[in-house]
Amino acid sequence: MKKSVLILWRLFFIGIGLFILLIVLANFGVFGSMPSIDELQNPSGSQSSQVYADDGTLMGKYYLQDRVNVTYKDISKYVINALVATEDKRFYDHNGIDPRSLARAVFALGSQGGASTISMQTAKNLFTDDPSNNIVVRMIQKLKESIIAIKLERNFTKEEILTLYLNTVAFSDNVFGIRNAAKTFFQKEPDRISIEEAAVLVGMVNAPSAYNPRTYPKRALDRRNLVLDRMAESLFITAPEAADLKNKPIKLNYKKLDETAGLAPYFRMILGEELKKWCKEHKKQDGENYNLYKDGLKIYTTINPRMQLYAEEAVAKHMAYMQQILNSQRNIKDGSVWKGYENVLESAMKQTDRWKNMKKEGIADDDIKKSFYIKTKMKVFAWNNNRSKDTTMTPYDSIKYHRQMLQAGFMAMDPLSGEVKAWVGGIDFKTFKYDHVNINTKRQVGSTIKPLLYSLAIEDAGFTPNTMVEDVQQNFNGYGLVPATDKTCTGQTMPMAQALAQSRNCATAYIMKQLGSEGNDGAKRFVEFLKNCDIKAKVDPYPSIALGAAEISLIEMIQAYSMFPGRGFNVKPMYITHIEDKNGNILQTFIPQRKDVISDVTAYSVIKMMEGVMQFGTGHSIWNYGVSGEIAGKTGTTNDNSDAWFMGYTPQLLCGVWAGCDDRFIRFANTAVGQGASAALPVFGYFYNKASNDKNLPLDMSSTFAKPDVMQSDISYDWINGVPQELGAEGDDIGNGNAADYGGDSLPEIKAEDIVPESEIPLLTDTAKKRKPAAPLNGTQPKAIMPKKETGINRR
């Protein structure tokens, strides 16, 4: 043998030896960790966690990669056939590596296609986090993928490998997995996909961005037709069938579920924060903490989709109407509302992406600021069905425009179980992410604090609704006069029920003083009572808290109010029923958390007084909204109309509404417009009208508040005779304004218009179809068991 030939043979065998050594080293993790057999059998590809409403409707997802696994039987055979025909036509004949494809790739240097099989691509999807652009590194990654592919073939059936691939592969628009792709592009489950739709989906996987049918329809059409040809070549369909399908256009039914889409986006944002805390406190079997964005948790909530949509409609309808009135106000029209508050705009300017991005580029502050005064085309929030409009204005003016928008918070809850049925945290989640319901958002509560004080007076001081109180300004030693002015005091003596119905501040101060005549003794007693109602907000014991000077969140106020329709039991708002892992195993079940706070006699006494508020007092306008049945409630307004509140409840439903601007100096000049009865109550009215007339909701309009057996008689309403209905005095020094504040002779005549809710309910999932309809309120799962109440008034 010639020496040159001998050298070639030696090099050949040395090359084979080195290649084998390379494989062995790669298999043992020298070039990076390799998955174990257990990891191959239980691949841990990232799965999105899903949130469901009380009827099984998919509300939204939390994910890094939006992916939900399905089984082989849940995938259309057309998808399977299209995939095999296009990506790996000898898939059923090889063991992970296709020698013919490998040889073709080597000799043609990849110009006639690659060598990756579906098994290798599955290995890449599952175990190669970041494919490298470096040729040497990528070759090592390819080698590892080949080894993993062979292991996959040894441990899985062909059907299981196809399922793994389709559950992990990326489609267009950053969608992962066949189920999400089918739902996103066609609003179908993957087993309902047709031949031509399967060709569109499989056509994407080769280059998701390039073959996106939404952004590149012509390119996607050509790719789809190529897939159809490949299916015909592989005899999965006939040539005439392929020709016929190629003549059809691509018909998308596109809807991607992201953080702003889906049901109750504000609620899901707050829920996500709670779930992150839950994940930190709970571990998987391997000792690792759960990951909300990767572990495919299923979170079942108490939100009722129909009530949620009615709540969003109500907020939109009324806040759009109120915004028009605010915009007609003189200081809003001429911009004088910002005089003295330029620092607020300056701070807001520095929080914008525009400022931050220009700052990163090294542009001087003065030059950045100048750019905020140059008109530019932009999209801003607007009260229409799209919640936006195109316009031209300076970025500085756009900041003012958005900060002048009235905001709102609304929550509806079952008062016995605590199950939250609807949650609206603001007017538009896409533009305004700040939630106005959760415990961290606190505003002055105004007169909505009064029923809590009155219940303490009944419970601990022997008052009854018919106890006479003096509507006279009170002096608290060391703390001055409450209210600060006596201009709203009538000087009359009246039943406590009348004082609440007409929201009499001076009478309320009188009641506070009866709880402790020395200094702030009564206030201290009241603060302890608020704590017992599970109000976590810091409330300082000043006598003025009797009039609502305290800052408390909407969700806390709803919990405190739950003791009235709850027959003395306070219940914590509950919005999760249970959490499952990706395999459907229940990880935790949640039950109502109740607390005995007041007697049922006290609760019923306050209910009857609050019914008086709605029948004869500050809430009597509720009957203009086509509602009926027993309704109790309380309006609230803070100084200068900065905050408008309404708390309302029936035997089956408890709701709270807050309305106002985030900047408290932006407010209504006219109290007739800015008070709780005008700015907040109508939201409840619109919502309850829709909810109570919906035969699909378990609301019984004939239900009544349960009267304790020990009570002999109801409240006397003799005081109503000859007393005109009036607004009362919910806040002092609130200023009444006049027509001049609105730039005309009278308040503008504006009609409230129907605007679609922000949320959209996606198509029901298979889970939804299997779940039973929502159980009746006040009897929901788990059942609300009411302990036997102590009777009597003077319990301590």
**Same-domain pairing of 357 and 411:** no
* pTM: predicted TM-score of the whole model, two decimal places: 0.80
- CA–CA separation, 674 and 680 (whole Å): 9
**Domain annotation covers residue 796:** no
- pLDDT in the model for residue 127: 59
658: phi then psi, degrees, rounded to nearest 5: -125, 145
Q: Is residue 487 part of a domain?
A: yes
Burial class for 609, CB neighbours closer than 10 Å (0-12, 13-18, 19+)? buried
Place of tokens 């303490």: 456
**CA-to-CA distance for 4 and 652, rounded, in angstroms?**
95
Give the list of residues 6+ apart from residue 646 with CB closer than 8 angstroms, or none: 448, 619, 633, 634, 635, 636, 656, 657, 676, 677, 680, 681, 683, 684
SS3 state of residue 11: helix
360 and 238 within one domain: no
User: Which pLDDT score is estimated for 753?
Assistant: 82
Q: Which amino acid is at 69?
A: N
Q: Give per-residue pLDDT as tens, 515-530.
A: 998 889 999 999 999 9
pLDDT at 722 over 90: no
Element (H, E) at 422: strand 420-424
Question: Are both 598 and 739 inside the same structural domain?
Answer: yes
Among 256, 276, 311, residue at a domain's last position:
256
Categorize the per-residue pLDDT at 634 as very low, low, confident or very high, splitting at 50, 70 and 90. Answer: very high
User: 405, 429, 457 — which closes off a domain?
Assistant: 405
pLDDT at 120 over 90: no
State the pLDDT at residue 119: 80
Q: Tell me which amino acid residue 660 is.
A: G
* Residue 562 confidence (pLDDT): 98
Residue 442: alpha-carbon gap to chain centroid: 18
Yes or no: say if 610 and 631 are a contact pair by the CB < 8 Å rule: no
Bridge partners of residue 393, in order along the sequence: 376
Alpha helices in 255-394 (DSSP H): 265-281, 305-327, 330-333, 342-350, 353-360, 365-371
Give percent of the chain above pLDDT 70: 79
Euclidean distance between CA atoms 399 and 654, whole angstroms: 36
Are 469 and 357 found together in one domain?
A: no
Q: Is residue 452 part of a domain?
A: yes
Residues 254-266: tens digit of each pLDDT: 987 666 678 999 9
pLDDT tens digits, one per residue of 638-681: 988 999 999 999 999 999 999 999 999 999 998 899 999 999 99
Within a domain: 693: yes
> Is the same domain home to 594 and 509?
yes
- Same domain for 113 and 197, yes or no, is yes
- Residues 548-595: tens digit of each pLDDT: 999 999 999 999 999 999 999 999 999 999 999 998 999 999 999 999
The distance from CA 323 to its chain's CA centroid, rounded to whole angstroms, is 23
Using CA atoms, how far residue 127 sits from 30, 48, 153, 250, in Å, is 16, 18, 15, 34
Taking CB atoms within 8 Å and a gap of at least 24, the contacts of 747-750 are 747/325, 747/670, 747/672, 747/673, 748/324, 748/325, 748/328, 750/321, 750/324, 750/325
Q: Reduced to 3 DSSP states, what percent helix, strand and coil does the chain have, rounded to the nearest 5? A: 45, 10, 45
- Examine the pLDDT at 211 and tell me if it is beyond 70: yes
| 647 burial level (CB within 10 Å; 0-12, 13-18, 19+) | buried
Taking the C-alpha atoms of residue 141 and residue 152, their distance in angstroms, rounded to an integer, is: 16
Q: Which residue has the tokens 């599955």?
A: 122
CA dist 146 and 99 (Å) reads 12
Q: 525 — phi, psi (to 5°)?
A: -65, -40
The dihedral through the CA atoms of 448, 452, 457, 463 has a sign that is positive
pLDDT band at residue 635 using 50, 70 and 90 as cut-offs:
very high
The tokens for 179 are 């189920």
**Which CATH number does the domain housing residue 453 bear?**
3.40.710.10
Q: Is 174 exposed, middle or buried (0-12, 13-18, 19+ CB in 10 A)?
A: middle
Looking at residues 462-468, what average pLDDT do you find? 94
Length of the chain in residues, anyone? 796
Q: Which range is most confident: 31-45, 545-559, 731-745?
A: 545-559
What b/e string do you get for 389-408 counting C-beta neighbours within 10 Å, with b at 16 or more? eeeeeebbbbbbeebbbbbb
Is 302 within the bounds of a domain?
Answer: no
* DSSP structural state of residue 739: G
795 has a pLDDT exceeding 60: no
**Higher per-residue confidence, 1 vs 428:** 428
pLDDT averaged over the chain? 85
Closest CA to 762 of 265, 209, 292: 265
Rounded Cα gap, residues 317 and 311, in angstroms: 10
Q: Which two tokens stand for residue 512?
A: 């506070």
- 272 within domain boundaries: no
Mean pLDDT value of segment 243-258: 89
Residue matched to tokens 């600021």:
369
Three-class SS string for 108-121? CCCCCCCCCCHHHH
DSSP string, 249-285: PP--------SSSSS-HHHHHHHHHHHHHHHHH-B-T
Q: Which residues contact 791 (CB under 8 A, 6 or more apart)?
A: 599, 600, 601, 708, 709, 710
pLDDT of 772 higher than 50: no
If phi > 0 it is left, if psi is from -120 to 50 it is alpha, else beta; for residue 621 that is alpha
- Cα separation, 572 vs 420, in Å, equals 10
Q: How confident is the model at residue 492 (pLDDT cuts 50, 70, 90)?
A: very high
Q: Do residue 363 and residue 411 come from a single domain?
A: no
pLDDT digits (tens, 9 = 90+) for 319-374: 999 999 999 999 999 999 999 999 999 999 999 989 998 998 899 999 999 999 99
Whose CA is closest to 446, among 742, 656, 651? Answer: 656
Determine the Cα–Cα distance for residues 600 and 791; give it in Å rounded to an integer. 7
Instruction: Please report which confidence band the pLDDT of residue 35 belongs to, taking 50, 70 and 90 as the band edges.
Output: low
418 and 364 share a domain?
no
Tokens of 540: 């300082």
How many Å apart are CA 670 and CA 46, to the nearest integer? Answer: 55
CA distances from 788 to 259, 346, 568, 603, 733 (A): 44, 58, 11, 14, 45
| Among 189, 187, 219, CA closest to 204 | 219
Answer whether residue 325 is part of any domain.
Answer: no
Q: For residue 44, what pLDDT band results from cuts at 50, 70 and 90?
A: low
- Pair 311, 424: CB distance under 8 Å: yes
Residue 681: which residues within 8 A CB-CB, separation 6 or more? 619, 621, 622, 633, 635, 646, 648, 657
- Burial class from Cβ neighbours inside 10 Å (0-12, 13-18, 19+) for residue 746 reads exposed
Please indicate, yes or no, whether residues 441 and 575 belong to a single structural domain of this protein: yes
Q: Do 432 and 344 have their domain in common?
A: no
Q: What is the pLDDT of residues 138-180, one digit of tens each?
A: 565 566 666 777 777 777 888 988 998 898 888 999 888 999 8
What is residue 393's DSSP assignment? E
Kindly state the DSSP code that residue 190 receives in the 8-state scheme. Answer: G
Which of 387, 405, 423 is where one domain is finished?
Answer: 405
Number of domains in the chain: 3
Query: Which domain does 190 fall in, by range?
Result: 18-47+67-256
Tokens of 425: 């945290």
Query: What DSSP element (H or E) covers 51?
Result: strand 49-52
Positive or negative CA dihedral for 528, 530, 532, 535?
negative
> What pLDDT band is residue 33 in, cutting at 50, 70 and 90?
low
Q: Is residue 537, in this structure, part of any structural domain at all? A: yes
225 φ, ψ to 5°? Answer: -65, -35
Give yes or no for a contact between 594 and 566, defined as CB atoms under 8 angstroms apart. Answer: yes
User: 199 and 71 share a domain?
Assistant: yes
Q: What pLDDT band is residue 740 in, cutting at 50, 70 and 90? A: low
pLDDT at 792: 38
User: Do 637 and 518 share a domain, yes or no?
Assistant: yes
Distance CA 111, CA 785 (A): 72
CA distance 420 to 302: 6
Is residue 228 within a helix (H) or strand (E), and if so which, with residue range?
Answer: helix 217-233
CATH number for the domain harbouring residue 188: 1.10.3810.10
